[in-house]
Amino acid sequence: MKTATVYDVAKRAGVSRGTVDRVIFNRGRVSQKTVEKVREAIRELNYSANPSASALASKQIHCFACLIPQHQKGEYWDVVDEGFKHGLEEITFCNVDLRMYYYDQNDIESYRKMAAEILELRPRGVITNAVFKEAVTEFSYKLKDLAIPMAFIDNKYDDLDFDIYCGVDPYNSGQLGAYLLTVHQKVESVAMIRVVRDSGKHADPNAPRRHGFVDYIADHFPDSAIYTLFIDPSSSESIASSMDRFASAHPEVRHYAVTNSRLFLIANWLKDNYDPERVVVGFDDLEGNLKAMREGLVDFLVTKDIPGQSNYLLTNFVRNVIYSQPPKVKNNYVHMDVLSKMNCNK
Amino acid sequence: MKTATVYDVAKRAGVSRGTVDRVIFNRGRVSQKTVEKVREAIRELNYSANPSASALASKQIHCFACLIPQHQKGEYWDVVDEGFKHGLEEITFCNVDLRMYYYDQNDIESYRKMAAEILELRPRGVITNAVFKEAVTEFSYKLKDLAIPMAFIDNKYDDLDFDIYCGVDPYNSGQLGAYLLTVHQKVESVAMIRVVRDSGKHADPNAPRRHGFVDYIADHFPDSAIYTLFIDPSSSESIASSMDRFASAHPEVRHYAVTNSRLFLIANWLKDNYDPERVVVGFDDLEGNLKAMREGLVDFLVTKDIPGQSNYLLTNFVRNVIYSQPPKVKNNYVHMDVLSKMNCNK
DNA sequence: CTGAAAGCGCTAACAA
DNA sequence: TTGTTAGCGCTTTCAG
């Protein structure tokens, strides 16, 4: 059986194809009575547009904006960025123009500034991540006023109004890290390392992961100590000296977890102070982290398909917005992967 | 900058659009000299067809055939099958008709019979897996005679002529299983369980995985015993009695690996004979295996994105065949995932 | 408010 | 061998 075309719908509704088009895209300038006739014909014929033909005929360009942290090559957000680029290629036929905006994770004002620019652009949709609660909230309200849909990538604020989200369950990722760190072990103390510059002003989207980590340890090893150690990554000397200081103060600690993605920054120290008894767990399969794993400095890495996640979000969000359909699932939790030395290549 | 169209290519090569089309699809009836001119123009303009327009204009239906093991709902090959169905949807605009054929893994003749049927169909391409070396070899030769491209899914024979493959590195998956079974442990003996009906006649595509497993244990625990245990899944009594017999003969064994995907068949026994000291590793995230994991009967499951793998293979293979382009990468090794109780949901 | 008609880039049948 | 041309189903402009 052939599928229905605009032409069939038009005939059925007793109007012309142009009118059908106006109804489908709510372009107005159609009498209410006609609208209903057309809607009914569409339903009866179970019509849905042929996407190839739409893409071919449409000249419109759909502009989207994306606001994420600025980053260096090889860092977490760089990989996220890659995923967006890939996704963009997959939907070339949708004619979307994706504008990237970057903010400074140490500076809430930079977020506000970029958000303002985006508002001015009036894009068809906006993608961002959850960092500065206050600024993101303001932004989301303003977008709502303009009826611009918004999507969260990587992490989210559940009480805000967004259309679609894609990321892992951060609390659970922390639990998984703790499990791997301690599996088949007796544990008396663990170190939780946070590699952040400027820990005071820095946004802290990783808190839920740390909570998951801490809760797991507390549940399974109630007598274990949990030390939190801040490492300032600004110079390799400061990294080494902080690590040295901690290690000599707590020589009994054998279990180390780095709860953000920057394990690779302490790889040198781990190597220079190698201890076969030490167990190390990190997060995210950045090239630097994988390298450390191949060198035997890390036992497990909790990760996910980082570019796949942003790719997925973009392609779905764009399709939803363009064809004004709600997403099939709003909260897309991607699954977590576990990497060990045996499966960290490719 | 606007992207080049057939028209641009035609102009540049000094021919008509029809000729360009003939060259692209190797329809023949074009002089060698013209072919080269067109090819060059295509390269210079970096031309690639607008998929929407192609889809819209083309009426041809491309028939593909897929020959894999017959299966029940929820089993490994059922999930593979799902992936094909998904992939098919993704490329609806390519107008492909995918015909599924199933053979009996205990009966090489059933493979031969289905292969013969496929040969008669003369599809544009064939997908199968590597099982009965002899029968698959015959099949591949006949396909080659007919110039029908072929793809391997899940496992392959490297000495045969195929266009594209997608699967994990099976040897490595065995090693990973062994690693997870023994991580942070001292091991003196392990049991390797094979759940197969009719072990004599049954095809054995899992051998490389077992080799990887055995080699790892031998390398890291040279003094450890490795017991191989066959379980006939035909009745739950036979499963239980075989397991009982083994367990009482070797009460010291604490480490169990099920090297094919059917761990779920011994889940009941594991539950009825629960031992907190026991470590169990299995393969593939079938629903039954996941259930066993959630119940705390399994420590680790080595898996991969099963439907993703067949989806990927199909969509790429079809595109390659239709647009007669070689695959970007011939051997697509998908990465292995590690599942534990902390990340086995979703 | 509504209809008619000109393409979008490509394929395939038909002429030459 | 090659060129010409009529659509594929939809969007969009321009007249009514």
- Tens of pLDDT, residues A45-99: 888 888 788 888 877 788 999 999 999 998 999 999 999 999 988 787 788 899 9
Count of residues making up chain B: 346
Close Cβ partners of A8 (under 8 Å, ≥ 6 residues apart): A45, A47
User: Which residue has tokens 């035997």?
Assistant: A296
Residue A112 CB in 7 A reach of strand C:
no
* CB nearest B342 (choices: A53, A56, A176): A176
B146 min Cα distance to partner chain A (Å): 32
Across the interface, of A55, A180, A340, the residue whose CB is closest to B52 is: A55
Residues 6+ apart with CB under 8 A from B71: B77, B78, B81, B102
* Chain B residues close to A217, C-beta within 8 Å: none
Residue of B nearest to A278 (CA): B184
**Nearest protein residue to nucleotide C2, judged by CA and C1' positions:** A19
Given a contact cutoff of 8 angstroms between Cβ atoms, the answer to whether B311 and B113 are in contact is: no
| Calpha distance A212→B87 (Å, rounded) | 36
Contacts of residue B191, Cβ cutoff 8 Å, sequence gap at least 6: B226, B227, B228, B229, B246, B250, B253, B255, B256, B257
In which band, very low, low, confident or very high, does the pLDDT at A346 lie, cut at 50, 70 and 90? low
Strands B150-153 and B164-167: parallel
On strand C, nucleotides with any atom < 7 Å from a protein CB are: 1-5, 7-14
pLDDT at A1 over 70: no
Within a 13 Å sphere around the CA of A41, how many CA atoms are in the beta-carbon half? Answer: 25
Asked if B335's CB is within 8 angstroms of A338's CB, the reply is: no
Q: What is the identity of the amino acid at B156?
A: K
Contact between B130 and B136 under an 8 Å Cβ cutoff? The reply is: yes
- Chain A positions in Cβ-Cβ contact with residue B50 (cut-off 8 Å): 56, 93
Burial of residue A46, with CB atoms counted within 10 A of its CB: 0-12 exposed, 13-18 middle, 19 or more buried: exposed
Between residue 211 and residue 230 of chain A, the positions with Cβ below 7 Å from nucleic chain C are none
Give the Cα separation of A156 and A167 in Å (integer): 9
Q: What is the DSSP letter of B260?
A: S
Instruction: Identify the pLDDT of residue B346.
Output: 62
Percent composition of chain B: helix, strand, coil (DSSP 3-state, to 5) = 45, 20, 35
The two three-digit tokens of residue A57, written as one number: 């005929």
Q: How close, in Å, is residue B316 to chain A by CA atoms? A: 13
Contact (CB, 8 A) for B208 and B174: yes
Q: Nearest chain B Cα to A54, which residue?
A: B52
To the nearest whole angstrom, how far is the Cα of A160 from the nearest Cα of chain B? 25
Q: What is the pLDDT of residue B282?
A: 97
Work out the average pLDDT over A152-169: 95
What's the CA B326/C1' D8 distance, rounded, in angstroms? 28
* Alpha-carbon gap, residue A301 to A296, rounded angstroms: 12
By C1' distance from the Cα of A60, the closest nucleotide is D11
**Beta carbons of A184 and B180 less than 8 Å apart:** no
| Contact predicate A250/A189, CB 8 Å | yes
Do the Cβ atoms of A335 and B335 come within 8 Å? no
Query: Rounded mean pLDDT of A140-168?
Result: 95
Q: On chain D, which bases lie within 7 A of the protein's CB atoms?
A: 1-5, 7-14
Length of chain A: 346
B45 touches strand C (CB under 7 A): no
Chain centroid to CA A155: 6
Q: Which nucleotide is nearest to A56 (CA to C1')?
A: C8
Neighbouring-strand partners of residue A30 = none
| Average of per-residue pLDDT values in chain A | 91
pLDDT given for residue A2 in this prediction = 65
User: Strand locations in B188-335, DSSP E?
Assistant: 189-195, 225-231, 255-258, 279-283, 300-303, 331-333
- Asked if A51's CB is within 8 angstroms of B56's CB, the reply is no
- CB A343 to CB B342 under 8 A? no
Q: Measuring CA to CA, which residue among B149, B202, B172, B139 is closest to residue B283?
A: B172
Residues of B in contact with A340 (CB under 8 A): 176, 179-180, 183, 338
Cβ–Cβ of A184/B185 closer than 8 Å? Answer: yes
Chain A contact probe: residue of B6, B52, B61, B179 with most A CBs at under 10 A = B52
CA–CA dist A240, A37 (Å, integer): 74
Q: B16 CA to C15 C1', in Å?
A: 14
Which residues of A fall below an 8 Å CB-CB distance to B?
50-53, 55-56, 93, 172, 175-176, 179-180, 183-185, 279, 299, 333, 335-343, 346
Residues of A in contact with B336 (CB under 8 A): 343
With b for 16 or more beta-carbon neighbours within 10 A and e for fewer, the B138-151 pattern comes to: ebbeebeeeebbbb
Residue in B139, B97, B134 with CA at minimum distance from that of residue B114: B139
| 8 A C-beta contact, residue B193 and residue B265 | no
**Whether the Cβ atoms of residue B259 and residue B193 lie closer than 8 Å to each other:** yes
Nucleotide closest to residue B5 (CA–C1'): C9
The distance (Å) linking the CA of A9 with the C1' of C13 is: 29
**What was the pLDDT predicted at B39?**
86
Chain B residues within an 8 Å CB radius of A93: 50-52
> For residues A67 and A90, what is the distance between their CA atoms, to the nearest angstrom?
21
Lowest mean pLDDT segment, chosen from A8-17, A157-166, A219-228, B336-345: A8-17
Taking phi over 0 as left and psi of -120 to 50 as alpha, with beta for the rest, B224 belongs to beta
**B interface residues, A as partner, C-beta within 8 Å:** 50-53, 55-56, 93, 172, 175-176, 179-180, 183-185, 279, 299, 333, 335-343, 346
Å between CA of B329 and C1' of D15? 55
How confident is the model at residue B6, as a pLDDT?
Answer: 87
To the nearest whole Å, the CA of A232 is away from the closest chain B CA by 31
CB contacts of A309 in chain B (<8 Å) are none
* pLDDT tens digit sequence for A180-226: 999 988 899 999 999 887 767 677 888 999 999 999 999 999 999 99
Q: Do B342 and A299 touch (CB under 8 A)?
A: no
Distance in Å, residue A38 CA to nucleotide C13 C1': 36
CA nearest to A341 within chain B? B176
Euclidean distance between CA atoms A160 and A142, whole angstroms: 12
Please answer whether residues A212 and A253 qualify as being in contact, where contact means their C-beta atoms are separated by less than 8 angstroms. no
Q: How far is A278 from chain B (nearest CA, A)?
A: 11
Residues from chain A that touch B340, judged by Cβ atoms under 8 A, are: 176, 179-180, 183, 338
Rounded distance in angstroms from the CA atom of residue B12 to the C1' atom of nucleotide D3: 15
What is the dihedral angle through the alpha carbons of A207, A209, A213, A216, rounded to the nearest 10 degrees?
Answer: 110
- Contact criterion met (CB below 8 Å) for B136 and B128: yes
Q: Binning pLDDT at 50, 70 and 90, where does residue A260 land?
A: very high
DSSP letter (8 states) at residue B228: E
Backbone angles phi, psi at B65, to 5 degrees: -125, 145
| Residue pairs between chains A and B whose CB atoms are closer than 8 Å | 71
What confidence score (pLDDT) does residue B272 get? 97
Write out chain B's pLDDT in tens, 346 residues.
Answer: 567 888 888 888 888 888 888 888 777 778 888 888 888 888 888 888 887 888 888 777 889 999 999 999 989 999 999 999 999 888 877 888 999 999 999 899 999 999 999 999 999 999 999 989 999 999 999 999 999 999 999 999 999 999 999 999 999 999 999 999 999 888 999 999 999 877 677 778 889 999 999 999 999 999 999 999 999 988 888 999 999 999 999 999 999 999 999 999 999 999 999 999 999 999 999 999 999 999 999 999 999 999 999 999 999 999 888 877 788 899 999 989 999 999 988 6
Round to a whole number and report the distance in Å from the CA of A18 to the C1' of C2.
Answer: 8
Specify the pLDDT at position B1. Answer: 57
Coil, strand or helix at B66: strand
The residue of chain A nearest to residue B333, with distances taken between CA atoms, is: A346
E strands, A96-224, in order? 96-103, 125-128, 150-153, 164-167, 189-195
